[in-house]
Structure 1
Amino acid sequence: MTAPLGRRLRTGVTAVAALSALALTATACGTDGTSGKGSEGSGKGTITFWDNNGGVRTDIWKEIIAKFEKKYPDIKVKYVGVAAADVQSKYDTAIAGGKGLPDVGGVGAAMLASLVAQNALAPVTDRIDSSGLKGKLDASMVKNVEAAGGSGDELYSVPTSANMGILWYRTDLFKAAGLDAPTTYDKFYAAATKLTDKKKNEFGFTFRGGAGSIAQALDMMYGQSGIDSFWNGDTTTVNDPRNVSALEKYVALYNKVTPEADLNNDFVKMVAEFDNGKIGMVQHNLGSYQNHLDALGKDKFAGVAMPTDASGVRTTVSNPVDGLGLFKNSTNKEAAWKFIEFAVSAAQNSAWNESAGAIPSNTEAQDDAWIASAGATKTGLDALTDSNTKIVQLPYYLPDWGTLSKSEVEPDFQKVVLGKETAKEFLDMFAGKLNAAQADWKKHSS
């Protein structure tokens, strides 16, 4: 980030979020019983930190906390690990109850809109501009977080890491079959067919048809269509005829080059299929790297960024940037900010992302030696900064995006996979919901 960002705030609330925001205003209090605005505090004492991927990243966070407490002996950090699947509801419950929020919490871009709408997070742009982080945060991640917060030019979390869509493939199976890495869509489809032998229970691809399936579908759709924007004005491009054609080609893979059971695959089942069976490829992101490494060892798999088209252009949808939020009700923001600034400093940001296999937000950390030898992480970073990569920014700023892109449309996506609904019918329905959500957001924004 180079220049100070503006200060304009948009509320962008839906009816549900508006009620939550009113509840927060009326009842929220800081840990000392004061109003929900909190205070800067003494810069000493105990602060509470919620890890939004508890259990998975607990060890590295405890290492960072130990180093922080050594540097700042007057500050203690109470660590609370919250499972990724539960963190949004935990925040919402604490906001509705008016108490119990942490001083600092892990906040992915996908949940930013909801927390901002509920007036739970303090803006951090000014703090960044006057700290050691100024000019050291990856510009694309800053843009992602700005957009996700819905304010356009204000940050409500400090980005810590980025993910990237990755096509993981079994290098041993590809070598045995004489196949090149699936760097283009033509190579991907050819490999999926060649590596499939149903009689031997061998499949070229494992498909995500259950929970979370829309994320994979959008990446494969926009990747093949080459459409580089989610919106044309205030109308979504999701049901553009080129995306319809791409979705038809993608779902046609099911039960031809994939196991039939893939219809109900969520993340865990999809990764297990790839790691435990004779599956050639799986499309996910950098977050499953450690799973593959533990199950297969470094010599049996590799990852490439999402395939390119015939001209070498890569189109991929944005992944939510992870970050740290400073909660408005904190009564010791000075100490809380010291923790955030420390955690996103080059050394700590590098250590955390090396552990997670993710792309660091601190640009100094991006030059560390481990990146060059990290395989898919280096691939993801290179793709993120490649001029031939087009990133479609998903509308994380819509308060309804999470439920709309998951529970509201996943059942219909399964109908498409089973041939009970056409790709066009599905995408037209999805587009209708998106356009309505966009109109509602604009109506309540200022």
Structure 2
Amino acid sequence: MPSVKQNPNGGRPLITIEPDGNHTATLFFFHGLGDSSLGWKEPLEQIAQQTPGLKIIAPTAPTIPVTISGGAKQTAWCDLAAASFNPMDVLTMLQKRPPMVESSWVEVLRLVTTELTEHPNVPLGRILFGGFSLGAHIAAWTALQLPQKCAGVLLMSGIILGVPSLCLNKTVCEDLPVLHCHGTADMVVPFMGAQMVCQQLKEGGVSKYELKSYEGMAHTASPEELADVIAFVKNCMTASAATPGSGQAPTLTICSNGLEIPNGTSVVITSLKSKPHLNGKIGIITGFTPRKARYTVLIEEESLMLAPASFRIESVALEDGGSAALSADGESFVEVSTGAPLSSDKRFKTGAIVRLKGLKAGAPWNGSVARLEAWNESTGRYTLDLGNNAQLQIKAENFTL
């Protein structure tokens, strides 16, 4: 009988189901809107009991304001920026990158990286990603953009939001098994949405994608569907069994040095007392005033001067046009808009506002705010402007947010 562990994880339940015997594969499973991992405990135990060697990790999403729920705070992997799930709204959500998805994406990648680090003999090629409803979205969002192919993707009663904005890796997707299960009587996420995803993914080169319909099934999981899910997981485990464990470091890179807030960065307003109706809204950093230590943030055509405590970073703009996202605890970030992992020598955008740290010769400047002016590739150092015609040439390790 597989053992079940429940980790409070800062008040957000994290379920881990350890396999009996040898650990040969891992399934990351994500719940739907307003739920938690506890809501899927019994079905996941059923899957684990019938798939020897499978470890299951089920985290719980953060609580955020959700537009489709009238702005009410719910557990969600991203915002659903629509009034309803009617056909036109579904079509719109399928085309647009969902707000606040990067933060959850980073959190998932950190979980995956931790698992790869602790269990190097179960490589990415033996890891599956699955989810129900909105959890299906974050499962696919993660798996389809990995630098290497995972074992498989399982989508249950869900759609993938913002498919055109995905950076699909053709060599990964063309041979990636994807099972999409959906009920024809689903009144929450219409079956039509699954059919749209089917067309988009096949046009995007996901050749092993299968949409399986269940006549009369609503927005739920049926015994027939669970049986198909278990069969799919077993097939993926069998097919990936030959994938060798590297015994080395994981393939995903999460970098923690050189974090800054350049212009163009997306932020989420979190604790604005003077205008509470803006809390939860997305804003864009357009400038910084060092004297006041305030950022200029554009929110719905209104420009405000805000302290960093009034917002959290949604994504960070990088010099090459890519972006990165901040982890939930604010300590690290990963590149999310290109296929390559973020390296520690990534060029940061000119104009970034940073805070100095760890300087020895220039110790009096530690803690001071400076503006990033230029990058010298030959020396690997940045030119920072401290104001009053004072400049420093330093490495990325000597500045942070």
For the criterion TM > 0.5, the same-fold answer is no
Which of the pair has the greater relative contact order for Cα pairs under 8 Å at 6+ separation? Answer: 1
User: By percentage of residues, which structure has more strand?
Assistant: 2
What TM-score comes out, normalization by structure 2 length? 0.26
